[in-house]
């Protein structure tokens, strides 16, 4: 089913707060095999100029992809989830995510089109602190392959 272009620009209510903990950051860093101390040792992170341990650059996905699922739950979005694959991903970091951050995700549909029978939907997730400080913009292009 083709995606409705009218969806472009649609924004969803902000997510619940995601509290970033040191243990979660260390776990993620270990899972990607990255031994850098700035992900797990607060003193090392401070020596590198950060207030606390920071997140690896792709950690934002652990917050943003779930937030982006709000789009697939929208009854106006005719995207067959069983056929959805991740087509593209982009992160713009306004500053590194760090332990202690209380992040709120706001999802917006940036693009919706149908190309060669495949539905392409681009969801932009703006991660800010509870106080509204921009932290990361994570943009995911999802592809629902045609039947």
Partner 1 sequence: MDLAVGTELPEQTYRVTRADLVRYAGASGDFNPIHWNDRTATSVGLPGVIAHGMFTMALAGRAVTDWTGNPGALVEYQVRFGRPVVVPDDDEGAEVTVHGKVGALLDDGRVRVDLTVTSDGEKVLSLARAIVAPA
Contact call for residues 77 and 71 (beta carbons, < 8 A): yes
Which tokens go with 5? Answer: 């272009």
In the complex with partner 1, which residue's Cβ is closer, 6 or 118?
118
Q: How many residues does the chain have?
A: 147
Q: Which of 8, 62, 70, 72 binds partner 1 (CB under 8 A)?
A: 62
Distance of CA 122 to the CA centre of its chain: 12
Task: Candidates 5-13, 34-42, 101-109, 112-120: pick the segment binding partner 1 (CB under 8 A).
Answer: 34-42
Q: Does 92 bind partner 1 (CB under 8 A)?
A: yes
In the complex with partner 1, which residue's Cβ is closer, 76 or 145?
145
Contact string 107-146 vs partner 1 (x = CB under 8 A):
----------------------------------------
DSSP-H helix ranges across 1-147: 22-31, 42-47, 61-72
Considering the complex, what minimum distance in angstroms separates the CB of residue 42 from partner 1?
14
Indicate the DSSP class of residue 69. Answer: H
Task: Candidates 5-13, 20-28, 99-107, 126-134: pick the segment binding partner 1 (CB under 8 A).
Answer: 20-28
Strands 18-19 and 102-115: antiparallel
Q: Does 71 bind partner 1 (CB under 8 A)?
A: no
Q: Which of 20, 38, 71, 125 binds partner 1 (CB under 8 A)?
A: 38
Which tokens go with 142? Answer: 């999802």
3-state secondary structure of 124: strand
């Amino acid at each position: 089913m083709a995606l409705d272009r009218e969806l472009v620009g649609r924004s969803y209510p902000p997510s619940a707060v995601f509290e970033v903990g040191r243990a979660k950051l260390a776990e993620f860093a270990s899972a990607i095999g990255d031994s850098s101390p700035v992900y797990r040792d607060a003193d090392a992170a401070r020596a590198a100029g950060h207030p606390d341990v920071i997140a690896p650059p792709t950690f934002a996905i652990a917050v943003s992809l779930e937030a982006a699922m709000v789009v697939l739950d929208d009854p106006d979005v005719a995207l067959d989830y069983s056929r959805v694959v991740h087509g593209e991903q982009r992160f713009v970091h306004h500053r590194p995510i760090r332990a202690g951050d209380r992040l709120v995700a706001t999802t917006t549909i940036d693009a919706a089109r149908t190309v060669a029978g495949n539905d392409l939907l681009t969801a932009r997730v703006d991660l800010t602190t509870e106080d509204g400080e921009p932290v990361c913009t994570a943009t995911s292009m999802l592809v629902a392959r045609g039947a």
